[in-house]
Structure 1
Amino acid sequence: MDKHYDTLSQLARLYGLQTVYHEAGGQRRQASQQALLAALQALGAPVAGLSDVPGALRQGRLKKWQQCCEPVTVAWEDRFCYIELRLPAYHSSQRAQCRLELEQGDTREWTCDLALLPPVNAATLEGITYQIKHLPLPGKLPPGYHQCVISVPGLSCRTLLVSAPRHVYLPPGEAGKRVWGVFLPLYALRSEHSWAAGDFGDLEHLLHWTQSLGGGLVGTLPLLAAFLDQPFSPSPYSPASRLFWNEFFLNITAVPELKICPEARELLNAPDFQSEIAALRRAPLVDYRRGMAVKRRILELLAQCCARTPVREEALQSWVIKHPAVRDYARFRAAMEKQQATWQKWPERMRNGELQPGDYEPEAERYHTYVQWLAHEQLQALAGQANHRGPGLYLDLPLGVHRAGYDVWREGRAFARGAACGAPPDPLNTSGQNWEFPPLHPEGIREQGYRYYIASLRNHMRHAGILRLDHVMGLHRLFWIPAGMSARDGVYVKYRAEEFYAILALESHRMRTLLVGEDLGTVPAVVRTTMNRHKLYRMHILPFEIHRLPRRGPHLPPARSLAALNTHDMPPFAAYWQRENRRRRTGLSHFLYRKGWIKAPTASDREVLLGCLKHLAASRARVLLVNLEDLWLEKAPQNIPGTTTEYPNWRRKAAPDMEEFTRMPRVLKALRVINGLRKRKYHIPR
């Protein structure tokens, strides 16, 4: 091996880069020098070229050993816990003063004689010998985020202690419950009351209808804030923020101010305005720009009326005091509108996070504050009704956020702005995928105590009974594409998975939210092993589980899994069945017949669909999600990965409206059959 590449590989591994990975087909791929250098630069390593690598390696090793303790330490509730200390040998035999600041406010202090702790490792750098010692923590820690400060003469360090249960939250009696629910993107859910797309009111009606049939949850795509003008990015997986909601989905008729705001009612009832709403409602594709512009005209008037209503205005200001970040977000969005540019093009002071009066219009700031309050009210009310008869809302936490979004601007150190997330080449995407949003910086998020990640989780968990974690492999490693390079030149970057799982366990218990990890595609075995250890639910998508010998049928879903026929990135079942090869179709049909799920082997998509749903409904999978569009044999997908303008991704509305499909006999029959099978006691198949 080239000696330069060998030194570069050592530096890459020091920064958590994988110099070698295996593609979907099993082929071994080695990262190029250019890719490693670019990824190291994105991580902040002091390298402009190969000549800088030896010095950067020396500096990196020295920095690591000079770091007295890691910024984050996990303390599992069922294990002996300690803090790993790295100390110069002349410090490692002194007495350490330790102070533990508990999240609840209490403080514990003690002294430790470091000479009594045996070294577990050592190294000599620049003539100084360093030792690693494990400092034990006294007694059992309460769950929470605690700060521990360790001081020896001339040296002090601090670590965030994440004290968490070993397993994520599981509902009481989880082992004996098998729930089901329906899925449809909210933008696709249209009704006689909706405007350009479905809204939170439509979601509430869908939930009540599902519960009336025995279901326990309704799932949809991310509902997060989006850029729907300039820039224009309607993808739910590239939101403007993971901390705030999309006012596009507000139910205007449920806003209290509408009853006391004559200006808004006058506009709403105007013939031209009603004609515009009707045209938006009739359109087969969602027109986000027009729809948001129409809704904003009403919302701006309602925001003004709220200011003139003391009780409501007091409630709004009280909420803002409890959620101070909303004002910062509102000013960011208002500044974008006034500057008519993304934050990367703002003056330096504003780019660096400092906004002053005059950088934005107060009316725009008020609008964005007000709509976030309304979204909170409507989602909170919906979640409160949802969890009476099951998990309720199944929400989706996307992996990333738009690079021009609020989160990247405000939490800059948490992101690696010089790279994008993506996926390496595979048989379906031979050039790989570039998702165009910046990855979390593995050390930047640790240095801020995972503040941003925790806030993102809480924003979702306060409303979700079940939360899907997009691309759960990202807790372990992410495929980075350095700026200016193609996905073929990407590099995998490792993360501290144990710290993520500890945070997920702690937050899910606090919010009583069941977690589902999206583990589809090429996923290293360690990911599913770790998910199982911490009791995260897996995803079992039937087309991915067909055995190589179709006559044996598909693999059975695990008990701790969410089972479904497809995802938003896949064709609906009717399209899948049409495209599947004859051998697999015959094998699946005969399997369903042998199990008694269809009356006879058949090529009928309708009969095989119902047979597959019966198979999943009768399985031990504790959550079953039914794509409503499958029930009327829709063939058009909601999203085709790898396309942009070639296909109307995230825009296609459901063919029937809600008033129609909730009365369709075949839809009702299928869901009643599923409900009956879900309510039966599960019997282990022979």
Structure 2
Amino acid sequence: MNTAIGPLHELARLYGVQTAYYNVLHQRRPASVNTLLSILKALGSSLERLEDIPSALRTRRKELWQHILEPVTVAWDGNLSSLSLRLPASVAEATLVCHLTMEDGECREQSYPARDLKTLETAELEGMKYEVKELRWKDMLPPGYHRLSVRIKGVTAETLVISAPSRFYHPPEGEAHRSWGVFAPLYALIRKRGWGSGDLSDLQALVSWIGDMGGNIVGTLPLLASFLDDNSDPSPYIPASRLLWNEFYLDIMSVPELENCPGARAFLASDSLQKEIEALRNTPRVDYYGIMIKKRQVLEELCRCLFATPSKRLDAFFRFIENNPTVEDYAGFRATRERHGASWQAWPQPLSEGIIEEGDYDESIKHYYLYTQWLMHQQMNSLLGTVQSSNVTLYLDLPLGIHPDGYDVWRERDSFVTGVTAGAPPDTVFTRGQNWGFPPLHPERIRHQGYRYFIAYLRHHLKSAGALRIDHVMGLHRLFCIPEGMSASEGTYVRYHPDELYAILSLESYRSRTVVVGEDLGTVPHYVRPMMKNHGVHRMYVMHYELASADTRKIIKPVPADSIASLNTHDMFPFAAVWDGTDIEQRAALGLINRATANREKRLWEERKRALVRLLQGKGFLDNTPASVEEALKACLAFLSASDAAVMLVNLEDLWLEARPQNIPSTTDDIYPNWRNKAGYRLDELCQIPRIIDTLRMVNQIRKRREPSR
């Protein structure tokens, strides 16, 4: 066993698998042999047992050295000044002919005698000598995705060259300085005549209201296509696809076909449907399945009306489908799923292999999914019109995860690693670690595909987002992977190629004029935030996280100027529960922490709260009398508003002192009803509540000052 550890660790390093990591307490945590073997096998190594390591190691070394070029190369600011080529020593006297095909089709050619190139490294592998040569391309490159091929002695290698600005897009000076806005899960927004959850018209109304209040940004959770069958997990962070929208958020009453569809109008007006909708409105939590059943019944009738008669609308529908082939492929997948079962992995071949033909599904069901994606496209465009007219930025969320039985994994299966799931190691908030239950992207295969899938789902979001949050930005660098059958504490990290991913994000952010925000909470390696800063990626500043690890002598650090500041996130208890300490009691009651840990956290929180009160009093945000929860909330919001933060975001639920969290990570439906809590007030009521209006006016007044209050 001991003699195999060294070669096993070397093999792991060649695959980008960490053999150990440091946890949030800076303690070293080595990966077990079983963990490494399982992850290496999942990444493609021919490993079954320890005895296979020498052979797998030779294969991997040979594989790496025989690639003349890396599959992807980054040219920051158009400068391709250093490109490494791995060449057999036998061709060291030959001439390299390089062809660069630009994104716009322009071609450039340069030739280099190999002997004139600088030698960076030499190696010998199984009797074959290799040299690493440095090629310096002479011209500056325009931004874009270019293809460089190198030919030497009849052998051709190719690399994707990503030429990108070294810093991500930022609005012109002053355009978004000291912005503020609100965050709210769209499903939680309710109105008097709604269906029991929010829709895109509600998001439009929220945007208009916040714009009228002086705010500049509205954020929400992912709005991506999801499975909403009975017993499906409604989490917005495991979508069926990152390439399409969720028809759950359609506003039925805004669909144009309703005007000329008597059947749909009659059904909507029926006593039976109105009673069912009223029942859905009155439930304390969002009933995704119940709402979707009723919405779908109406939408299917509207779809039939559209197809029944030739019209300009029908022509527009067909043009949309022709221009969006992914929508048609997705609709076929969803229709096939309804006939053959929820998991494509159990479908018969060739369906499970990604080959679907007419007859494998009900055509009317495919029409439904085509139609609803078209409607989502139209209603998203309507939302963007309101966003622009209100001078508000739409802040969307790009989830790290994907449903293992979803469209993306089915269609893009080579982009994912099977046999492991992504998660996070134990930290101060989630003491048992987290298993998120979805397959991670394969770090090498996505490179060989030219990051096609990554670029596609990124562009899907950037068409609509003025600001985009990258969920778990550390995933651009490395991802905690847990072999199937093991606990969250038994995983280790797999590395990606951050330069390449940052370059794509930078290029796409400029093309779409979108600000990029990295969610950098939890266990953050020391090199992540400096790289974010170097490239102009906004970070997050969350007061709850800062207080959870604060020293009472310096209770809170200054808020960084490049941050999006907030009191909490959707994965945390709201402010009122934290301030009163009821979050600790609820976590203990759910079994997430034991009684000893709960008592220790209570003591620490009381100490930190006293220190925070002293700080807020010293800055004039609190007087010297005991603070109520509402006074403490306003003081903390004032503190963040007066900070240097580029953007200050208010959790809408905090304004009415909500105590229920939207999500408690590491819990399931039988423990806590995640992603289902409705807002405590209807949206039209919120706009009329004096204390909420006063708080937002206070935030607006402080943020609009010329200089932050230090």
Cα deviations by residue, 1:554-574 (Å, 9 ceiling, x for unpaired): 212111100000000100001
Report how far residue 110 of structure 1 moved: 2.4
Percent identical among aligned pairs is 49
1:585–1:603 Cα contact (<8 Å) kept? no
Q: Where does 1:104-253 land on structure 2 (aligned, <5 Å)?
A: 104-174=104-174, 177-229=177-229, 232-253=232-253
Return the alpha-carbon distance in structure 2 between the equivalents of residues 231 and 656 of structure 1.
Answer: 27
3-state DSSP of counterpart to 1:17: coil
Give the Cα separation in 2 of the matches to 1:196 and 1:98.
Answer: 61
- TM-score relative to the length of structure 2: 0.94
Change (3 A) 1:649 1:548: closer
**Alpha-carbon separation, structure 2, partners of 1:379 and 1:540:** 29
**Kept after mapping to 2: 8 A contact 1:551/1:591:** no
Q: Verify: 1:604 aligned to 2:628, yes or no.
A: yes
Structure 1 distance, partners of 2:480, 2:391, is 36
Which sits farther off after the overlay, 132-141 or 186-195?
132-141
Q: How far is 1:231 from its partner?
A: 6.6
Question: Could you tell me how far apart the structure 2 residues matched to 1:230 and 1:107 are?
Answer: 55
Of 558, 561, 564, which aligns to 2:560?
558
1:571 to 570, 573, 581: 573
Partner of 1:255: 255
Deviations 1:98-150, CA, capped at 9 Å, x for gaps? 11111112111222222210211111112111111122223111111111111
Is the deviation greater in 384-393 or in 674-683?
Answer: 384-393
Question: Matches of 2:655 and 2:429 in 1, distance apart?
Answer: 27
Corresponding residue SS for 1:119: strand
**SS of alignment partner, residue 474 of structure 2:** helix
Q: Which residue of 2 aligns with 1:491?
A: 492
Partner residue, 1:456: 457
Partner Cα distance (2:552, 2:481) in 1: 37
CA distance change for structure 1 residues 499 and 174 in 2, over 3 Å: closer, same or farther?
Answer: farther
Instruction: Report the TM-score when normalising by structure 1.
Output: 0.98
Residues 469, 516 of structure 2: 8 Å contact kept: yes
Aligned in 2, Cα 1:621/1:234: closer, same or farther, shift over 3 Å? same
Which residue of 657, 660, 663 corresponds with 2:682? 657
Q: Say which SS state the counterpart of residue 674 (structure 1) adopts.
A: helix
Write the distance in 1 (CA, Å) between the matches of 2:554 and 2:90. Answer: 66
* Number of the residue aligned with 2:73: 73
Partners in 1 of 2:532 and 2:150 — Cα distance?
Answer: 33
The residue type equivalent to 2:556 in the other structure is P
Match of 1:35?
Answer: 35
Q: What is the deviation of 1:674?
A: 0.5
Q: How does 1:488-567 map to 2 (within 5 A)?
A: 488-546=489-547, 548-550=550-552, 552-567=554-569
Which amino acid is the alignment partner of residue 274 of structure 2?
A: Q
The superposition leaves residues 424-481 of structure 1 with CA deviations (integer Å, 9 ceiling, x where unpaired) of 2234444321110000000011011111111111111110111111000000010001
Q: Distance in 1 between matches of 2:221 and 2:415?
A: 25
Out of 593, 606, 609, the position equivalent to 1:585 is 609
Note if contact 2:182-2:218 (Cα within 8 Å) is conserved in structure 1.
yes
Tell me how far 1:176 sits from its aligned partner. 7.0
Q: Secondary structure at the match of 1:70?
A: coil
Task: Give the drift of 1:309.
Answer: 4.2
Cα deviation, 1:589-633, whole Å, max 9, x if unaligned, reads 121111111233433111111011011111110101101111111
| TM-superposed deviation, 1:83 | 2.6
Deviates more, 1:453-462 or 1:169-178: 169-178
Match 1:628 to one of 652, 660, 663 = 652
Amino acid at match of 2:347: W
Contact 1:563 1:623 in 2 (8 A): yes
Q: Is the 8 A contact 1:481 1:490 kept in 2?
A: yes
Residues 332, 406 of structure 1: 8 Å contact kept: yes
- Equivalent-residue separation in structure 1 for 2:554 and 2:434 (angstroms): 34
State the AA in 1 paired with 2:706: K
Corresponding residue for residue 17 of structure 1 = 17
> What residue is the counterpart of 1:306 in the other structure?
306
Amino acid at match of 1:638: Q
| Aligned positions, number | 685
Asked if the contact 1:590/1:601 (under 8 Å) is kept, the reply is: no
Work out which of the residue numbers 629, 634, 643 in structure 2 matches 1:619.
643
Which piece of structure 1 moves more, 387-396 or 145-154?
387-396
Residues 324-339 of structure 1 correspond to what in structure 2 (within 5 A)?
324-339=325-340
Alpha carbons of 1:230 and 1:94: their partners in 2 closer, same or farther (altered >3 Å)? Answer: farther
From the superposition, tell whether residues 231 and 444 of structure 1 become closer, same or farther in structure 2 (CA, over 3 Å): farther
1:292 is matched with which residue? 292
1:64 and 1:549 mapped to 2: Cα distance? 47
2:700 is the alignment partner of 1:675 = yes
AA in 2 matched with 1:559: A
Measured in 2, the distance between the counterparts of 1:448 and 1:649 equals: 36
Asked whether 1:277 is paired with 2:277, we answer yes
Distance in 1 of aligned mates of 2:626 and 2:412: 55
Which residue identity does 1:461 align to in structure 2? L
- C-alpha distance in 1, partners of 2:514/2:156? 38
Residues 350-392 of structure 1: CA distance to partner in whole angstroms, max 9, x if unpaired?
1111111111111111111111111111112212321344452
Per-residue Cα deviation, 1:2-58 (whole angstroms, up to 9, x for no partner): 220111000000000000111222221111111100000110111111111100101
Deviation at 1:175, TM superposition (A): 8.1
Amino acid across the alignment from 1:566: N
Matches within 5 A, 1:416-431: 416-431=417-432
Structure 2, unaligned stretches of length 5 or more? 582-601
Q: Distance in 2 between matches of 1:672 and 1:123?
A: 67
Distance in 2 (CA, whole Å) between partners of 1:18 and 1:169 is: 32
- Greater mean alpha carbon deviation, residues 284-293 or residues 77-86: 77-86
CA contact (8 A) 2:247 2:372 kept: yes
Residue 407 of structure 1 aligns with an amino acid whose one-letter code is: D
2:322 pairs with 1:347: no
Change (3 A) 1:250 1:176: closer
Post-superposition offset of 1:340: 2.3
Alpha-carbon distance change, 175 to 390 in structure 1, aligned in 2, over 3 angstroms: closer
Read off the aligned partner of 1:317 and give its amino acid letter: F
SS of 2:375's equivalent in the other structure is helix
Distance 1:134 1:172, change over 3 A: same
For residues 623-680 of structure 1, the C-alpha deviation after alignment (integer angstroms, 9 at most, x for no partner) is 0110111111111111111101211100010111111111100000000010011110
Q: Counterparts in 2 of 1:431-470, with a 5 A limit?
A: 431-470=432-471
Partner of 1:233, secondary structure, is coil
Change (3 A) 1:278 1:230: closer
3-state SS of 1:585 partner: helix
Report if the CA contact (8 A) 2:225-2:246 is conserved: yes
Evaluate the alpha carbon distance shift between residue 427 and residue 681 of structure 1 in structure 2; reply closer, same or farther with a 3 A threshold. Answer: closer
| Residues 78, 166 of structure 1: 8 Å contact kept | no
Give, as a single letter, the amino acid of the residue that structure 2 aligns with 1:113: P
Task: Find the aligned partners of 1:212 and 1:185 in 2 and give their Cα distance.
Answer: 20
Number of the residue aligned with 2:587 = none
Question: How much does 1:196 deviate?
Answer: 2.8
CA RMSD of aligned residues (A): 1.5
2:480 counterpart residue number: 479
User: AA paired with 1:442?
Assistant: P
Q: In the aligned structure 2, how far is the partner of 1:602 from the partner of 1:373?
A: 55
Equivalent residue number for residue 87 of structure 1: 87
Task: Give the Å deviation of 1:483.
Answer: 1.6
- Give the Cα separation in 2 of the matches to 1:161 and 1:86: 17
Q: Per the alignment, do residues 232 and 83 of structure 1 end up closer, same or farther by CA in structure 2, a change over 3 Å counting?
A: same
Residue deviations 1:203-250 (CA, integer Å, cap 9, x gap):
000110010000011111111111111671210011101111110000
Contact kept, 8 Å, 1:545 with 1:554, in 2: the verdict is yes
CA displacement at 1:583 relative to structure 2: 1.8
